[in-house]
Amino acid sequence: MSKAFVPSRRSILFGTAAIAGAAALASRHDSAEARELAGLPSSGGPWAIELFTSQGCSSCPPADVHLGKLARRADIVALSFHVDYWDYIGWKDLFASREMTERQRGYARVLKQRYVYTPEMVVDGIGHDPGVESGTIDTLLATAQRRSPRRATPDLARAADGTLAIKLAAFQLDGGPADVTLAVYDRRHATAVRSGENTGRTLENFNIVRRFEVVGRWDGSSANWIVPADRFQPGQGMAVLVQQADQGPMIGCNKLEPTETG
């Protein structure tokens, strides 16, 4: 099944990337489709960690630093979603949006939380923790790995014309259809905060999602999508999440990143 990419009404686009880098990356493993044809299991990982954070929250910087460390791991797709509900207390987060807040609220419903909070790391769509320290996150990752050892890991490739090709091999979906979602992110920003709870601090944020949209709903059959080049800015990373529909557990994910310099 081959599909052209059509942006959904949930897509969002913010400003240009601030970090430039090289554009070429190689795939980390053989293609998932080749593994399936050979009768081999799909790749074990990566696993997704989504941090909901705010520059207006004094408790968030340690979790931001932790996410930066996780982002360096090849087996982790680490994404930072900046929420907007702390903007009123003195500092408007430069990267926050209502769409990011709504994604967090979606997890609160699915994971049966009484409220949303920051910082919050959601691990592979199955559990959450502030993410300030590694212990609970490591435990959640181990749980995710036990629950989902066989993954629908998308193959990602950037063509010479800048388009992104997403390919998924046939996969047995036990929990119904899955959403295939694209996250485009800036690798790193440093922000001097001039008011609010973090006044006087320079905050470092990593893998900051600037564009987030559903590419399509997947039925588990072999499929591919082409995302136009104008969806990306130089130096940005791209991640694709394959997740049970309506923010259920992750089924697979992958990332494609330029080489970070400096």
Average pLDDT over residues 217-242: 96
Is 74 part of any domain?
yes
Mapping DSSP to helix (H, G, I), strand (E, B) and coil, where does residue 214 land? strand
Q: What is the CATH number of the domain that holds 182?
A: 2.60.40.10
Is 19 part of any domain?
no
Percent of the chain exceeding pLDDT 70 equals 82
Residue 21 has pLDDT above 80, yes or no: no
Whole-number Å distance between alpha carbons of 125 and 181: 13
Residue 125: which of 178, 199, 166, 88 has the closest Cα? 178
pLDDT band, residue 260 (cuts 50/70/90): low
Please list the alpha-helical segments (H only) found in the chain. Answer: 32-37, 61-71, 98-110, 134-147
Is 186 part of any domain?
yes
Q: What is the pTM of this model?
A: 0.84
Is 70 part of any domain?
yes
Is 182 part of any domain?
yes
Is 109 part of any domain?
yes
Whole-number Å distance between alpha carbons of 120 and 106: 13
Residue 257: which of 104, 76, 32 has the closest Cα? 76
Q: What's the pLDDT tens digit per position in 34-67?
A: 433 433 334 478 999 999 999 999 999 999 999 9
Is 21 part of any domain?
no
* Cα 167 to Cα 10, 38, 98, 154, 170, distances in angstroms: 22, 17, 30, 6, 10
Integer-rounded Cα Rg, in Å, for the chain is 18
158 contacts 231 by C-beta, under 8 angstroms? no
Residue 115 has pLDDT above 90, yes or no: yes
Is 76 part of any domain?
yes
pLDDT score for 9: 31
Per the structure, the count of domains in the chain is 1
Structural domain boundaries, residue 182: 2-14+43-256
